[in-house]
Structure 1
Amino acid sequence: MINLSDTDLQAKLQRLKDILTDMGNAVIAYSGGVDSTFLLKVAHDVLGDNVIAVTARSSTYPEREFNEACELVKQIGAKHVVIISEELEIEGFRSNPVNRCYYCKKELFNKIWDIANEHGINHVLDGSNVDDTDDFRPGMKAAHELGVESPLRESGMTKSDIRALSKAMGLPTWNKPSFACLSSRFPYGQPISEKKLSMVEQAEQFLLDKGFIQVRVRYHGDIARIEVAPEERHRFFDEHLMDEIAARFKQIGFAYTALDLAGYRTGSMNEVLKEEMPDERTTTETTAQ
């Protein structure tokens, strides 16, 4: 039983449950992140076997994230379907245009709708919340076009609401760092390849193994630009650690390694777009950059 004194949170949670109850069934685009795990947990509590989690495997989705997602579904007890959605095979995606995520989400949600239709389910859901309107995320346009619903946003939930409720429910994702697919590590217009994605995944995994919590390795040709949480930046005063990181990144294929002094922030690759495309911020997708 959730014991929360915040009546606003309780009201939002009840609203979410009412929305899901009215749906009667649902397929959830499930990544294993904070939002989709919380949504799956509540949906499974409300709908039981009438909810299915669908996870897409691809070269942009790290193995560690896939394994965690599979384990979380088992803990929740929900049905789980794994599909292949190789974004690099989508026309227009590999060249990494500004609206790259539109192509990805359109492909993904079409495949998820196929699963829904196969099981006689009328609703496809994503985990976007109220805060997801704060950045440029064109994937929401595809979701809207394909009739994907966002019950977390509809119930008025913010990221902090979801984390608080997840903690109260005992979900291990309540304090999980934000994650986005590996394609978000590349400046728009720079082509994406399997090799480059593998380099980024290896570099980020090395930093995670070193104990960093919030990590991004942005790909700038020969240069790897590291972003870590602002409170973790002090660790780079350790010269031995810096030497280790530089040597490992060189093995991976980066000629140079740099630290972003500002630290991690959502959508850092979008900062150059904010003055050029302010209206696009209404077309959001579900994951932070």
Structure 2
Amino acid sequence: MKLNEFLKQNPRFALAFSGGTDSSYLLYAAKAAGCDVRPYLVKSPFQPQFELDDARRVAEPLGLTLTVVGFDILQDPDVRKNPPDRCYFCKRALFTRLRELSRSDGCELLCDGTNASDDAGDRPGIKALRELGVRSPLRECGLTKPEIRRLSREAGLFTGDKPAYACLATRIPAGTEITAPLLQKIERAEESLFAMGFFDFRVRYFNGAAKLQLPGEQFQIAMERRAEIVSALESNFDAVLLDLSPRKTEDKIWNSSGL
């Protein structure tokens, strides 16, 4: 099935919208196809502020009202304990809430931006979406991440070049309790590095320290600005470490898989 066929068959739906590359293109395509699409963004402690800002930058020019749903996911003990399958409990809680809201607004169909490059396998988050009956049009229609980036650029969407971004909870090792203060420390650390010009990186929590995962080409810059980085992060962490294994960026992932 082609995406335009899916949109023709489903002219009205709610979209779990993040402001990332995939859901932004789906929102754009649905609007262009004349669909009555309603974007919902869940603002939890797991999402940094820039994600909300980016989502608004996409929705507003399309003339769409973005519904922002405040949700304290840390009230869920299964999420807060951070087991290896935390994503299952998180997605199930968030999408259950989104389904309730979207149905109250008259939308029976709820979709998300999972694409065909995402390895479904036994991924806990995708398992939760399937159980809740959430549809993933990009995946169903065979659209891969490189294709979505290309189509996004052709459409003039700034998200076509936006680096992939995972929620802040992924920076904390499984088994380590997730708390709001810890998430805030990580967000502040990443904001500091963004302000210094670093991109497509992660600041991971490691036994009280901040462990920086950078693309290899940014190592030299990190060494040159070492004192500045330490000064910005040391008040929130016991130490600042650099992972000497270069972070595998999205383009390298696609290239190594033959895409």
Question: Partner of 1:38 in structure 2?
Answer: 25
Q: Choose which of 216, 226, 239 in structure 2 pairs with 1:242.
A: 226
Q: Following TM superposition, by how much is the alpha carbon of 1:215 offset from its aligned partner in structure 2, in angstroms? A: 1.9
Q: Choose which of 221, 224, 239 in structure 2 pairs with 1:256.
A: 239
SS at match of 1:51: strand
SS at match of 1:47: coil
Distance in 2 (CA, whole Å) between partners of 1:110 and 1:81 is 16
Q: Following TM superposition, by how much is the alpha carbon of 1:212 offset from its aligned partner in structure 2, in angstroms? A: 0.8
Distance in 2 (CA, whole Å) between partners of 1:231 and 1:26 is 42
Contact 1:85/1:107, CA 8 A, preserved across alignment: no
2:134 matches 1:151: no
Q: Deviations over 1:126-172 (max 9, x none)?
A: 10111110787311111000000011011111110000000000000
SS at match of 2:66: strand
Distance in 2 (CA, whole Å) between partners of 1:92 and 1:265 is 30
Aligned-CA RMSD value: 1.7
Contact 2:27/2:39, CA 8 A, preserved across alignment: yes
Contact 1:31/1:66, CA 8 A, preserved across alignment: yes
Distance in 2 (CA, whole Å) between partners of 1:262 and 1:215 is 12
Using CA pairs below 8 Å that are at least 6 residues apart, which structure has the higher relative contact order?
Answer: 1
Q: Choose which of 11, 16, 20 in structure 2 pairs with 1:24.
A: 11
Contact 2:42/2:94, CA 8 A, preserved across alignment: yes
Q: Following TM superposition, by how much is the alpha carbon of 1:266 offset from its aligned partner in structure 2, in angstroms? A: 6.9
Q: Which amino acid aligns with 1:259?
A: L
Q: Deviations over 1:89-142 (max 9, x none)?
A: 113111100111111111111111112211222211110111110787311111
SS at match of 1:162: helix
Contact 1:130/1:153, CA 8 A, preserved across alignment: yes
Stretches of structure 1 that go unaligned for 5 or more consecutive residues are: 1-11, 268-289
Q: Deviations over 1:209-248 (max 9, x none)?
A: 000111210001321111122332231231xx10111121
Stretches of structure 2 that go unaligned for 5 or more consecutive residues are: 251-259
Matched residue count: 250
Distance in 2 (CA, whole Å) between partners of 1:65 and 1:232 is 23
SS at match of 2:67: strand
